[in-house]
Structures are given as C-alpha cells and as structure tokens.
Amino acid sequence: MKALLDHYRSHLSTLALAFALGGSAQAAGPRGVAYVHVFQSGEAGIFANAYLVETEHSIVVVDSTLLESTSKALRARLLEIGKPLRAVLITHGHPDHYNGVTNLCAGEKVDVFATPETDRVIRESDAAKEKQWAPVFGAEWPVRRTFPNKILPTGGTFSVDDVTFTVRALGPGESHADSYWIMEGNTGRVAFIGDEVLNHVHAYVSDGHMSDWLKNLATLEHELKDVTRLYPGHGDVGGMEIVRWQEEYLRFYLRTVSALVGNQREITDAQKTRLVAAMEQFLPNRRLEFLIGLGAGPVVSELAAEQK
C-alpha cells in the first residue's frame, strides 16, 4: 500500500482569507490508515503549521496555530472534514503552537497531550508571552489559552483507530523543551517534528539553545531514518533534507555571529545589521526575517557562556 497520503488542501495565504480549498470529506479509510491534512498559516500567523490527521473515524490535530483567525480557520477545516476531534498533540511550548487550542476545541472536552517538560514551559511562560506579544498582535491574540490536560512522558503513546502516536522528548532546542511525535499506522511511519525545523523560514533562536538544537537535529537524523515524511512547525513538508537544511542554517548563523563579534560579549547594532544581511543572503525569501536580529543577543550570550 502506498505510504501515508498527504493532503495539501488548506494553504492559507493570509489570515483574513481563512478559507479552505476544495471539498475534503474523505470516505472513511481502512482501519490503521491516516491522512494528513496540512494547514499553513500565512505571514500574519507567522507561517505556523498545524496538521489534521484523519483516521477511520476520528481526527487528531498536531499543534494549533497562533491567532484567533487562524485557529478559527483550523476549526472550520476540522468541521469540513466532518469527524470528531479526538486529541490535540502539542510539539513544544511556544504560543504559535498552543495559542489556538481554545478555538480548535471550541468548548468540546478534548485530550490535549504534551510532555511534562513542554507543559511546564507553557505554564511558566504563558503570562510573559502574552505581555510581550499581545500588544503586537492586538485582537488576534487569543484572550484565553488552553493548556495541556494529558501529560505523556517521553516514549508514551496514544492510539486511535489503530494509528499510534508516540512522543519523544528532545530537551532544549528551538524552545526550552522540544518534543516530536511519531505516527505509525499500517502504511508506515511519519513524524511531526515541531520547530526542530522551520523549513525555509527564518529561525527563532532567542531561547538560546543553539548547540542543543543542533544536537537534537543530529538525534532526528539518527532516530527518524525509516520515517517517510517529516512535518515541520513552519514551512513545507519534506524528508530528511529539511533537517539537514536546518542544520546548515543554524551553523551559518553561528559562524556569522562568531566572525562578527569575536570575543565580545555583546553585539552592536552595526554588527546586527551585517548579520541580518548575511542571513537574508542565505535565505532570501524574507519569511520571518525579523527573527534574525531578535535572536542575535541571546546567541552571543550562549557563545560567550560556552567559551567560559
């Protein structure tokens, strides 16, 4: 049988134009088969992805997008597919992955899974994230966030319709506590890798764990050898090449910062400008390019701490 089928029907170009393309109600597939519907936020929703996994009788959603409008559109997509929402799986504790849970579930009692570490990050940082970002996003910032209610330690599994999801904790990386989910059915294995990869989108490096992140990517290369598809937190779906691309991106960022600041412990505005220019040359599509400068300070601090 063919490997798990991907459906790319709901590319949202902008947050306001939150429409789903194409009719999509699948005939109930055979037991153990899962279809992955890709939901991509536009630029206003910082290109955050969510995935609706359609099984024989159910839907499991991975991550939930950032905004009021994108998460409502995600909910609309769920209703269009027309099967009950059985669970939400969270990859890591950044708001562009859990902010939309409230609108996605819309008052239904749904299991929201995360590792204990990811759950802790969400609970500890949610108020600070709101303070930092709600003024930027205004009415688009969900007033009420829903936190995980099912805590699954690494290696823990959840099954629906003979499709099994296993969570693996990675530790610090893009966030303070990353994880990824492997999905196995009778058509093979795929992985939802969260922001281990922001595929051809500029990276959020402000949490200051670049070295750990690179280790995580090496772990993924090793652990996901037999996986046929990788579903990243931002950008397009791919294979192992997207992990290697992310490694190159991070290494280039680190090399550039090192070359610019040398032994200094801070980065000047002029150096930041040169960093941004270099990274824009590496990835010229300008997707989330504001993150380049935002992460410079934390990365310099991380490099300085490693030199001690």
CB 181 within 8 A of CB 166: yes
Choices 111-119, 156-164, 180-188, 191-199 (CB under 5 A): range interacting with Zn ion: 191-199
Q: Nearest CA to 219 among 183, 243, 185, 249?
A: 243
Q: For the window 193-232, what string marks contact with Zn ion as x by the rule CB under 5 A?
A: --x-------------------------------------
Between 93 and 233, CB nearer to Zn ion:
233
Rounded CA-CA distance 58/28 in Å is 9
Should residue 173 be labelled a site residue for Zn ion when binding is judged by CB under 5 A?
A: no
Should residue 233 be labelled a site residue for Zn ion when binding is judged by CB under 5 A?
A: yes
Taking the complex as a whole, the smallest distance from the CB of residue 16 to Zn ion amounts, in Å, to: 21
Rounded CA-CA distance 180/173 in Å is 12
Taking the complex as a whole, the smallest distance from the CB of residue 121 to Zn ion amounts, in Å, to: 13
Between 233 and 295, CB nearer to Zn ion:
233
Taking the complex as a whole, the smallest distance from the CB of residue 220 to Zn ion amounts, in Å, to: 16
Should residue 178 be labelled a site residue for Zn ion when binding is judged by CB under 5 A?
A: no
Q: Which amino acid is at 250?
A: L
Between 20 and 203, CB nearer to Zn ion:
203
Taking the complex as a whole, the smallest distance from the CB of residue 84 to Zn ion amounts, in Å, to: 27
Taking the complex as a whole, the smallest distance from the CB of residue 196 to Zn ion amounts, in Å, to: 10
Rounding to the nearest 10 degrees, give the CA dihedral for residues 114, 124, 195, 110: 30
Residues binding Zn ion: number (CB under 5 A): 3
Between 68 and 195, CB nearer to Zn ion:
195
Taking the complex as a whole, the smallest distance from the CB of residue 195 to Zn ion amounts, in Å, to: 4
Choices 30-38, 81-89, 188-196, 264-272 (CB under 5 A): range interacting with Zn ion: 188-196
Q: For the window 42-81, what string marks contact with Zn ion as x by the rule CB under 5 A?
A: ----------------------------------------
Taking the complex as a whole, the smallest distance from the CB of residue 8 to Zn ion amounts, in Å, to: 19
Between 96 and 140, CB nearer to Zn ion:
96
Taking the complex as a whole, the smallest distance from the CB of residue 159 to Zn ion amounts, in Å, to: 27
Name residue 235's beta-bridge partners.
none
Query: Using CB under 5 A, which residues numbered 88 to 117 contact Zn ion?
Result: 96
Which residues are at the interface with Zn ion (CB under 5 A)? 96, 195, 233
